[in-house]
Amino acid sequence: MVQSTASFTSESLAALKQRYAEAGQGHVFKGFDELDDKTAGEFFGQLSGIEVERVTGFFKNATAAHGQEGGDKIEPLEAGSFASALDSAQADERAQWRAEGMRLIGANKVAVILLAGGQGSRLGSSEPKGCYDIGLPSQSSLFAIQAHRIRRLQQLSGNTATIPWLVMTSGPTSAATQATFAQADYFGLREEDVFFFNQGVLPCFDFDGHILLEQAGRVAVAPNGNGGVYEALRVSGALDWLRERGVEHVHSYCVDNCLVRVADPEFVGYAALRGAECGALVVPKKAWDEPVGVICLRNSRYGVVEYSEISSEMAQLTRDGSGELAYNAGNICNHYYTLDFLQHRVPELEAKFEHHVAKKKIKHVDVESGDLVIPAKPNGIKLERFVFDVFPHVERMAVLEVARNDQFSPLKNAPGSGVDCPETARRDLLAQCVRFAEAAGATIQDAESEPAFEISPLVSYGGEGLESLRGKTLVGDQLITDIASVQTV
């Protein structure tokens, strides 16, 4: 019988058991006495690290609120309440936004947060999703593409800037991600400018609110959603690290978007000039029934409404006289924050953030029989927060509409699925490279046949630096890594 080990005493074990019993979670200790000393010590450590009263409260609040959102008043964003990079009349303003963003980057005031906790499971890969190669001629991974965009922006600033890169990983991806960066020599960035931190986890529950065990002596846990980034930034020391470096503005995005403009100077400059504490990029929906969340007003505050929350009639509403969808601000998880907001305002707000209920199939051990349960249908609940849960509490929000084909091509689905998959990501990035060259005055051989024409981000971040291509006809299938050695017809 386990009474104490080097990890705990009989008194500390009794105190922990009492805490769990008072929270209604005493069942997790069934069979504890049969564990070997090593497993018992690890289990004690895991249970001690869980604020059981708090997480049990999360479950009760989330399940009580689940399905009761119907009383919310949902309205589209008002016309004119956000700017659009699609509006040619705003060309001068866009130049001002970009200039301000580049000024801030050059002054070392801008950092980037990468949400990279996901694995490539749907893509048939066990590696972190950021390691995935979408089939480009360069064979660059998503991590490499994004790192090279950071390097190019630093170069455009006159090589005087450093853009710190904060990379949020999860338990399953942390070691592999850090090993990938080390093996790639941080993709040409300085190691001291990259900060890794881990997304938090929460226990999994059955439908009655009991914490599940994935095996004897181990609680079943799951990542706490991308909204866990706020707490993870704070507890990891990342925000203090940024403060020490003099950073004031932060751009955040998800790893699975191959078109993301990392540290986007136009977006950063736009939000900064508006005096915003938080901002979001949006793209027009492909169609009224596209299954994507949209940024709107919920009870007169900014929020995101999922496609399942609004009726077909609401989704098809158009703005007077324009024919444009009223609910058209597609959310792409691309955000701006001031460091002051993340460090000083968000901690006060986190208690107000909701947890969302996700009903899942959760493999676990039956604590009564000791049998392993492998469910065929959802049998439990995972709790998660979303990064946009902060929106209703923002006092000064900046929303900017951008072109989907320039800034958003997510990688969500398996190869061959035809939608948001490696093939569409590759197509969209290569098509953007063709547009960059054509905008510079070049002609691409057989452009209509979608050639494998890639311009390295180290050569051009957003179409700049290609002036020497004017009047030239370029070989379609080529990788441009040096503007001086472009292949022409």
Phi-psi domain of 423 (left: phi exceeds 0; alpha: psi -120 through 50; beta: other): alpha
- How far is the C-alpha of 327 from the C-alpha of 337, rounded, in Å? 24
Handedness of CA 444, 447, 452, 456 (dihedral sign): positive
Examine the pLDDT at 37 and tell me if it is beyond 50.
Answer: yes
Residue whose C-alpha is closest to residue 294's, from 286, 282, 276:
282
- How far is the C-alpha of 369 from the C-alpha of 166, rounded, in Å? 45
Q: In this structure, are residues 269 and 332 in contact, taking their beta carbons and an 8 Å threshold?
A: no
Beta bridge partners of 373: 364
The 10s digit of each residue's pLDDT in 406-457 is 999 999 999 999 999 999 999 999 999 999 999 999 999 998 899 999 999 9
Task: Enter the pTM of the model.
Answer: 0.92
Q: Which two tokens stand for residue 340?
A: 């002051």
Q: In this structure, are residues 149 and 461 in contact, taking their beta carbons and an 8 Å threshold?
A: yes
Examine the pLDDT at 215 and tell me if it is beyond 50.
Answer: yes
- How far is the C-alpha of 222 from the C-alpha of 192, rounded, in Å? 30
Examine the pLDDT at 322 and tell me if it is beyond 80.
Answer: no
Burial class (CB in 10 A: 0-12, 13-18, 19+), 73: exposed
Examine the pLDDT at 84 and tell me if it is beyond 70.
Answer: yes
The 10s digit of each residue's pLDDT in 87-96 is 888 899 999 9
State which amino acid sits at residue 387: V
- How far is the C-alpha of 437 from the C-alpha of 479, rounded, in Å? 12
The 10s digit of each residue's pLDDT in 117-146 is 888 888 888 899 999 999 999 999 999 999
Regarding beta strands 278-284 and 249-254, do their DSSP bridges make them parallel or antiparallel, or are they unpaired?
A: unpaired
The 10s digit of each residue's pLDDT in 233-289 is 999 999 999 999 999 999 999 999 999 999 999 999 999 999 999 999 999 999 999
Handedness of CA 129, 267, 137, 184 (dihedral sign): negative
State which amino acid sits at residue 297: L
- How far is the C-alpha of 314 from the C-alpha of 29, rounded, in Å? 50
Average pLDDT, the chain: 94
- How far is the C-alpha of 146 from the C-alpha of 166, rounded, in Å? 12
Residue whose C-alpha is closest to residue 279's, from 133, 363, 401, 366:
401
- What is the reported pLDDT for 160? 84
- What is the reported pLDDT for 264? 98
Q: How confident is the model at residue 80 (pLDDT cuts 50, 70, 90)?
A: confident
CA-derived radius of gyration, the chain: 25
- What is the reported pLDDT for 252? 98
- What is the reported pLDDT for 131? 96
- What is the reported pLDDT for 488? 96
- What is the reported pLDDT for 4? 53
- How far is the C-alpha of 119 from the C-alpha of 397, rounded, in Å? 31
Contacts of 462 (CB under 8 A, 6+ apart): 261, 436
Residue whose C-alpha is closest to residue 426's, from 143, 137, 135, 129:
135
- How far is the C-alpha of 89 from the C-alpha of 437, rounded, in Å? 24
- What is the reported pLDDT for 119? 82
Over residues 50-63, mean pLDDT: 94
Residue whose C-alpha is closest to residue 226's, from 188, 246, 200, 206:
200
The 10s digit of each residue's pLDDT in 370-405 is 999 999 999 999 999 999 999 999 999 999 999 999
DSSP collapsed to 3 states, the chain: CCCCECCECHHHHHHHHHHHHHCCCHHHHCCHHHCCHHHHHHHHHHHHCCCHHHHHHHHHHHHHHCCCHHHCCEECCCCCCCEECCCHHHHHHHHHHHHHHHHHHHCCCEEEEEECCCECHHHCCCCEHHHCECCCCCCCEHHHHHHHHHHHHHHHCCCCCCCCEEEEECCCCHHHHHHHHHHCHHHHCCHHHEEEEECCEEECEECCCCECEEECCEECEEECCHHHHHHHHHHCCHHHHHHHCCCCEEEEEECCECCCCCCCHHHHHHHHHCCCCEEEEEEECCCCCCCCCEEEEECCEEEEECHHHCCHHHHCCECCCCCCECCCEEEEEEEEEEHHHHHHHHHHHHHHCCCEEEEECCCEECCCCCCEECCCCCCEEEEECCHHHHHHHCCCEEEEECCHHHHCCECCCCCCCCCCCHHHHHHHHHHHHHHHHHHCCCEECCHHHCCCEEECCCCCCCCCCCHHHCCCEECCCEEECCHHHCCEC
Share of the chain above pLDDT 70, in %: 98
- What is the reported pLDDT for 5? 58
- What is the reported pLDDT for 68? 61
Examine the pLDDT at 69 and tell me if it is beyond 60.
Answer: no
CA dist list (Å): 315 to 80, 305, 310:
20, 11, 7
